[in-house]
Structure 1
Amino acid sequence: MASEREIFSLSGPLYLIAIDWSNTCHRRSIAASLVQGVYILERDRQQNRQGFNALAPPWWEFFHFQLIQVLVDNEDQSYFGAIYEYKFPNSHFHNKTKNDIQNQNQNPPKYVIAFRGTITKKGNRSQDFKINLTLIRDNLHNCSRFHIGLQVVHNIVQNHEISDIWLTGHSLGSSIALLIGRNMVKTGIDLETYLFNPPFTSLPVEKITKNEKLKHGIRITHSVLTAGLASAVNICKSKSINKSESITLLSSWIPYLFVNPSDPICAEYVGYFEHREKMAAIGKGEIGRIATQNSIRSIIGNAIGKDQLEPSHLLPSANVAINLSPSPDFKRAHGIHQWWNPDVQCNYKLYQFR
């Protein structure tokens, strides 16, 4: 039996009848709904819900998108992503008013590539947890889901305007979208990207203690240790040009990060960006810069001769939205549903690496 959260008419953002594409909250809600569409696509597949019984279509059709491709995992044949195409509605569609039509013409994306996160139910648990382990080990770039997603994004980018394309994902899916976005930036392509509850695969200082001074002290120690190790193995010296070029390229890309401080999976992004500002304010900006480009795992890997990529969770720039609304449990703090709630209280702040 389907849960209420799967049914758009019961839990979707029905209030978005007139969409203002210049409204950040509207764009956030739609991007999150399209990710939810991928989750429900996989549930439909598992439950063999087809035709009129399928629950996924309303999650994109309500916003005038159509599903043009489902992305399938090679290992377990599960649906992990989807490509949506926007179709401009007719002026008489649903008896829309003149203002509704004008709002719809404010640059909606032509294509959206969305990725779901981990499903812990039987049928998905094994493969999804396996991919989560590759994420924790900074090895997501070797995952087939990443390569499939990167290829479809390359195909769309070759034939359409960059401004017409969105990337979005939730949890594990946001890590895939983030890694694809980083790779596209290195080819000179900045895609508008919406990342919901992106995992921060490093020391979760934000959840270790509530003492702000202790948090700051731990982060300073961690940054100094990271920068010191990087210098000790000559990463900063032998690869400084490549690192600087990479960080300069990435700094121009400013994805939207949606995080909940009650969610231990993504909460550290709150402190990560605040700490960078504090390091600069106390004259330790260079240490912060080096720490931004390296993780202790990648430093050790390079030291023992393993070619390590830059940690994908370390971002130089981002538009960070913090959900300030109460989240009574982990399920709601990490869930995708919070991001289209009309009552959600978000604090937005731009962090740009310079």
Structure 2
Amino acid sequence: METTNQVSKEEEAEEQRKDLVVSKEEEEEEEVEEEAHPYSFHVSGPRNLSTLNWRDLIYSTWKDSNYKRTVIACFIQAVYLLELDRQEKRTQETALAPNWWIPFKYKLTQTLIDERDGSIFGAVLEWDRAAAMADLVLMRPSGAPRAVLALRGTLLKSPTMRRDIEDDLRFFAWESLKGSCRFKLALEVLKSASNSFGGSNVCVAGHSLGAGFALQVGKALAKEGIYVETHLFNPPSVSLAMSLRNIGEKAESAWKKLKSMLPYSGQESRAGEEGDTNKNLGLKSWIPRLSSFKNSGFGVGKWVPHLYVNNSDYICCSYNDPGGDGGVNKENVAPPGNGPVAAKLFVVTKERQKFHEAHGLEQWWSSDAELQQAIHSSKLISRQLRSLYSGSGTSSQVTTQGKS
């Protein structure tokens, strides 16, 4: 009987040991799955920046445009993940977003919340002096912003998709996002950061819809004489308002050409001129009067936004259309130094890319994102910035950099 009980206890102990082993294996598998999340920094983040140390932070170089583009894109990715962490109820220990700013010695100081659905659409990241000092980084690297306002684009997830698309349609219809509560809050936060740290120490950046907001809040501050560094990844360029405006301009141009072909003299000339003025006013009255084209008096060349576009992305590719005809017009090519720089345009020209890849944010921290420089004028950028340069009397120039 004792032997039987002893065997039974040994079997029970063996089963418990097996259960414990299985339980540990399951926990390890869960940890591996968590670590291998596709949005984890070490999985999908930049490969060449995975092991930063104090030497990298000091000597690396925020002055290098490739490095700066990479880090700013990572900050925008962090905003996407802040909202996904919120939606999926991740804890502080399991959150994915922090790892996208911690390696660069920045900290989260504010999140921007959409009052309509409670979603996170932006965040302010500031240089973390304490974390830097802990790693013997005694000073902020030259060229590194004191604060960055990062704005995400559209998330096709049910909790926030409705409000994101609502603002997408707002831009498509009017080419203005000023009616959105996000514009008001982003402008207030950016202005506050500029007042605290100085405009030269502040940066605003966005992707897709977020780039649309970043462009318009950056331009709004520029009109007030506050010039913040601006980075726009895959900014939206297609709108119904711009299309109608183009149609109106073409119709007006056709009328002027027709008028020049008609014979006139004396009273007919004067009467014709008065009639032409009235007709032109009537023609222009239906062209959308966009608020972004009304103001002037801007100091030329003091605010130069950086635009990052992909030719395979139909949402932003129009920014790389020099003459509005989809091709490169050699007559529009301007030599370096000919007039003030209106914007810096960085272009990816890979062929046969799917839209999802071409519009994605990940391409901008890719290790093979080497840029070559070219220069031409872009009518679309000129129109976007017309109100800032209309008082100068000089033609704007667009610096364009492309990837082969």
Map of 1:150-165 to 2, 5 A cutoff?
A: 150-165=187-202
Distance in structure 1 (CA, Å) of the matches to 2:226 and 2:154: 28
Kept after mapping to 1: 8 A contact 2:322/2:328 = no
Task: Report the counterpart of residue 128 of structure 1 in structure 2.
Answer: 164
Q: What SS does the aligned partner of 1:74 have?
A: coil
Aligned counterparts of 2:92 and 2:41: Cα–Cα separation in 1: 16
Residue aligned with 2:159, SS: coil
* Aligned mates of 2:65, 2:323 — CA distance in 1: 21
Check the 8 A contact 1:69/1:82 in 2, yes or no: yes
Contact 2:223 2:298 (8 Å CA) reproduced: no
Say which of 144, 150, 155 aligns to 2:181.
Answer: 144
Stretch deviating more after TM superposition (37-46 or 151-160)? 151-160
Greater displacement, 118-127 / 173-182 = 118-127
Report the Cα distance in structure 1 between the residues aligned to 2:182 and 2:109, rounded to whole angstroms: 18
94, 99, 109: which one aligns with 1:53: 94
List gaps (5 residues or longer) in structure 2.
1-32, 257-276, 334-340, 378-394, 398-404
Instruction: Summarize the Cα distance change of 1:91–1:159 in structure 2 as closer, same or farther, 3 Å threshold.
Output: closer
Match of 2:357 among 324, 332, 349: 332
Partner of 2:318: 268
- Pairing 1:343–2:343 present: no
Distance 1:265 1:82, change over 3 A: same
Q: CA deviation at 1:223?
A: 5.6
Selected match of 1:111 from 128, 136, 147? 147
* Corresponding position of 2:39: 6
Matches of 2:166 and 2:295, distance apart in 1: 33
Identity %: 30
Give the number of the structure whose alpha-carbon radius of gyration is greater: 2
2:61 is matched with which residue?
Answer: 20
In 2, the alpha carbon distance for the partners of 1:161 and 1:65 equals 18
Q: Which residue number corresponds to residue 70 of structure 1?
A: 111
Query: CA offsets per residue over residues 174-215 of structure 1, 9 Å max, x none?
Result: 000000011001001111110000000248x9xxxxxxxxxx
Relative to the length of structure 2, the TM-score reads 0.65
Match of 2:396 in 1: 353
| Alpha carbons 1:169, 1:175 under 8 Å: kept | yes
What RMSD over aligned residues (CA atoms) do the two structures have, in Å?
3.5
Cα shift at 1:120: 0.7
Contact 2:227 2:303 in 1 (8 A): yes
Where do residues 1-354 of structure 1 align in structure 2 (5 Å cutoff)?
4-16=37-49, 17=52, 18=56, 19-88=60-129, 90=132, 93=135, 105-138=141-174, 139-202=176-239, 224-225=250-251, 232-233=280-281, 246=296, 248-249=298-299, 252-272=302-322, 278=329, 281=332, 317-326=342-351, 328-349=353-374, 353=396
Structure 1 residues 125 and 56: CA distance shift in structure 2, 3 A: same
Q: 1:70·1:79 contact (CA, 8 Å) conserved in 2?
A: yes
Q: Which has the higher contact order (CA 8 A, sep 6+)?
A: 1
* Structure 1 length-normalised TM: 0.74
- AA matched with 1:69: Q
Q: 2:120 and 2:254 mapped to 1: Cα distance?
A: 43
Number of residue pairs matched? 297
